[in-house]
Each structure stands twice: as C-alpha cells, then as structure tokens.
Amino acid sequence: MVSLDGYFEGDKPWDIDWHQVDDEFNEFAIKQLDEFDCLVFGRSTYEGMAQYWPGEEAIRTDREVASRMNRAPKIVLSRTLQKPEKGQNLLVLGSSVLTTSLMEQGLLDELRIIINPVLIGSGRPLASSATRRIPLKLLSRRDFRNGNVLLTYRPHVDAT
C-alpha cells in the first residue's frame, strides 16, 4: 500500500497509521492470501510482520487475515535471490527493497500496488532502491469503496 504521493511508510519505520483498511479490503487480503502458496519477505518486513500478526490487536481487529498470515509458509530473504521453481505462487508483502531487486533482475512476474487516497508529504518512497528505470504494463485496476485503488502491473526488464 502506498500513499498517493508514492510513500509506503512515513518518516519512521512502520509509520502506516494512514492505511485505510475496512471489511472490503480485508476480504481482498484474505482472497489474495488464499491464492498463493508461500509468503516472501525481506528481513526488515518479516520482523515487523512477525511482531504484529500474532499479537492481540491483529487477532482482535483482523482475525481472518491474522489467521492466514500466521499459518502461511514464509521465506525470508536478505542478500541472495533465486527464481522460485515454476508452479510456486509466491507473494511478497511490503519489502520495497526486495521487490525492487526482484523487478530489476526480472524475477517478479506481477506487481500489485494499492494506492491509498492520502498525501503524507514525506517518508520512504516505494522504489528508492531502484538503480534503473523499470517500465510497467498495466494489467488491471480495482477500485475500493473507501477510495483505495489496486493497480496490477507486469514489470518489463530488458535482458541487456
């Protein structure tokens, strides 16, 4: 999820209180989690997720999402990346540095970005670690009642 001005979190780690999450979004999250075989995280994102999802707040406010997040198989990456075997549907949540690295190496098949209708003014940009331009082809768009917009892209990276 990113703000309209392109930030995935505010100036401090896990500064995401501006995320708009409602029942419709949780239904989408549950469906998305059910589509994939495994979750993939960079180390920093995993540490944050591992603190939040087993906690009382997550279980109280997002019971079904928390249940799926807690029981899903997880892979945590730090420095070495290899393309998964064909047939494995992996979902990277958060992890902007990891996602950008996967796109630059041609290892990301699809990028889903949820744009939140808020301007936060500063923070960590989604692709701050990008070392080159990565063209994206829009595959689909979904509008949520709360104003969030899901954009699904296919990254196109030249082999050169």
CB 104 within 8 Å of CB 158: no
41 token code pair? 């995280």
Burial class (CB in 10 A: 0-12, 13-18, 19+), 12: exposed
- Rounded Cα distance, 121 and 143, in Å: 23
At 100 the pLDDT is: 86
CA distances from 50 to 59, 69, 94, 125, 134 (A): 13, 9, 13, 23, 30
- Rounded Cα distance, 32 and 45, in Å: 18
CATH code of residue 36: 3.40.430.10
At 118 the pLDDT is: 95
- Domains: count for the chain: 1
At 81 the pLDDT is: 45
Q: Is 136 a domain residue?
A: yes
Q: Is 145 a domain residue?
A: yes
**Structural domain for 57, as ranges:** 2-155
Sign, CA dihedral 108-117-65-58, equals: positive
Q: Is 147 a domain residue?
A: yes
Burial class (CB in 10 A: 0-12, 13-18, 19+), 71: exposed
At 65 the pLDDT is: 92
Secondary structure of residue 92 in the 3-state scheme: strand
Average pLDDT for runs of 10 along the chain of length 160: 91 89 92 90 86 91 91 77 57 81 86 94 88 92 96 79
H-helix or E-strand spanning residue 116: strand 111-116
Q: Is 160 a domain residue?
A: no
What pTM value is reported for the model? Answer: 0.75
Q: Is 89 a domain residue?
A: yes
Q: Is 8 a domain residue?
A: yes
